[in-house]
Amino acid sequence: MDIMKNLGFSRRGTENQNGMKNDYVFQFSDRCPRKEGETRIYNLIILDESGSMSPLRAEALSGANETLQTIRTAQQEHPDDNQMVSFVTFDSGSSRHDVRALIDNEKIENVRDITPEQYQPWGGTPLYDAMGLSITALRNLVKEGDHVLVTVITDGYENSSQIFSAEMIKELVDSLSTKGWVFTYIGANQDSEQTAGGLGIHSTMDFKATVVGSAVMWDRMNSSRREYYKNVRRNKASGIEMECDKDFFATKQALTRITPERIDTLKEGEIFVFGSNEAGQHLGGAARAAVERFGAVFGQGSGLQGRSYAIPTLRLPGGDPANRLSLQAIRSYVQEFIYFADAHPELTFLVTRIGCGIAGFHDEEIAPLLAGAYSLPNVYLPASFWKVLSYQYKS
């Protein structure tokens, strides 16, 4: 069934079957000509801009722009990806259209970051309309051989759509899923698995509607996005279509990628990841074990050394709080580690409870910094870190 035609969207200002007037036609432009034989990766991101997102506005902007940077980096490292981006927001009750394309089917190299002026939460949540309009518009552009990743992010339930219903969205999603489209749903203040299941979406993630919870969500999502791109490249190289949405958010992986509480020996290819100090004085705790057993180098504060990898959480050795690095500084070292682990899939990294011993940090402080490694199959984390990262909504 041609849903858009059935709803009266063939021309501007027509009336749909619900009796609602539509003063514009929602469509994506197709102004980027293809090269002969070119296939594309279409990224459609649908972000809630309703009033309830106001407390998370800064985090939403930061996370959205980090996502754009993730796509840029993928394109720069793999020019044959041909990454296309459409970024849609939705709200009701303002003077603007309920569903807006902040980025209208652009090549990622032409995309600029989203500004605070562009994202101003207000009004209700026309989630179904946002999904129905944007997914249908994108469907008109996708060609055989293209890959499509649709990401829906919302902190509340549908409450103000006037065109699409849940049943219509499910019909649309079911139809396109059979063609290889990957749909993901990320939600707060709800059971995302139950909500998305009614829409035909099976790859879901809950997040806490807090500053930290929002930041973790974006990092987890971008980690999963990078793995999706790897799978797409494997598909192209092998010619064998793989299930790119299988355990998209690595939920099942989290149950098996747990660092042992005690590590005395390492298997071939395993790397012991420990918390250190910038001076590289590995005098106690896991750092001392790294020197004695796994080739850590005294005087080297960070990075790979022997069969170990150091992530500084202190300036100098000792538990004096004044020696602690800021969480932002630790995050920078953690990011270096994540990039390194991502570039070395042949190695398996066993991350210990870095910073939670002599340095005196808590799991709730350090674990979120590692959310960017959430979907990396070669990074193992302590069970206490997984408990922090793998938030599941409970009513």
pLDDT of residue 260: 97
Between 14 and 24, name the one with better pLDDT: 24
The answer to whether residues 58 and 192 belong to one domain is yes
The residue from 177, 205, 238 where one domain ends is 238
- Angle, nearest 10°, between helix axes 166-177 and 127-139? 30
13 domain residue, yes or no: no
3-state SS assignment for residue 302: coil
2 domain residue, yes or no: no
pLDDT in tens, 213-235: 999 999 999 999 999 999 999 98
In Å, what is the CA distance from 373 to each residue of 33, 43, 45, 361? 36, 21, 21, 19
Contacts of 367 (CB under 8 A, 6+ apart): 381, 384, 385, 386, 387, 388, 389
Distance CA 116, CA 62 (A): 10
The answer to whether residues 256 and 231 belong to one domain is no
Strands (E), 108-159: 147-154
The answer to whether residues 194 and 328 belong to one domain is no
The residues pairing with 380 across neighbouring beta strands, listed in sequence order, are 350
The answer to whether residues 367 and 283 belong to one domain is yes
The answer to whether residues 135 and 283 belong to one domain is no
Read off the pLDDT of each residue in 150-173 and give the average, rounded to a whole number: 96
Query: Which is nearest to 257 in space by CA: 83, 382, 112, 100?
Result: 382
pLDDT of residue 24: 54
Read off the pLDDT of each residue in 236-265 and give the average, rounded to a whole number: 88
The residue from 178, 203, 238 where one domain ends is 238
pLDDT of residue 94: 63
Assign residue 83 the CATH number of its domain: 3.40.50.410
Angle (CA) 64-65-70 rounded to 5° is 100
Distance CA 134, CA 48 (A): 13
19 domain residue, yes or no: no
210 domain residue, yes or no: yes
pLDDT in tens, 93-138: 765 679 999 999 999 999 999 999 999 999 999 999 999 999 999 9
The answer to whether residues 157 and 266 belong to one domain is no
Residue numbers of the domain that contains 191: 36-238
CB distance 242 to 381 below 8 Å: no
The residues pairing with 151 across neighbouring beta strands, listed in sequence order, are 45, 184
CB distance 183 to 198 below 8 Å: no
Strands 303-305 and 308-314: antiparallel
The answer to whether residues 215 and 336 belong to one domain is no
182 domain residue, yes or no: yes
CB distance 46 to 153 below 8 Å: yes
Read off the pLDDT of each residue in 135-157 and give the average, rounded to a whole number: 96
229 domain residue, yes or no: yes
129 domain residue, yes or no: yes
Assign residue 290 the CATH number of its domain: 3.40.220.10
Distance CA 68, CA 237 (A): 25
Query: Which is nearest to 42 in space by CA: 107, 128, 113?
Result: 107
130 domain residue, yes or no: yes
pLDDT of residue 92: 92
The answer to whether residues 267 and 357 belong to one domain is yes
Distance CA 354, CA 274 (A): 6
Q: How many domains does the chain have?
A: 2
> What is the pLDDT confidence band of residue 13, given thresholds at 50, 70 and 90?
very low
The answer to whether residues 298 and 205 belong to one domain is no
| Ramachandran class of 331: left when φ > 0, alpha when ψ lies in -120 to 50, beta otherwise | alpha
pLDDT of residue 16: 40
pLDDT at 6 > cutoff 70:
no
pTM over 0.85: yes
> What is the pLDDT confidence band of residue 9, given thresholds at 50, 70 and 90?
very low
Read off the pLDDT of each residue in 323-349 and give the average, rounded to a whole number: 97
Read off the pLDDT of each residue in 249-255 and give the average, rounded to a whole number: 90
Distance CA 379, CA 395 (A): 31
End-to-end CA distance of the chain: 37
The answer to whether residues 267 and 234 belong to one domain is no
The answer to whether residues 113 and 189 belong to one domain is yes
Distance CA 315, CA 34 (A): 52
Read off the pLDDT of each residue in 250-267 and give the average, rounded to a whole number: 94
> What is the pLDDT confidence band of residue 246, given thresholds at 50, 70 and 90?
confident
pLDDT at 17 > cutoff 70:
no
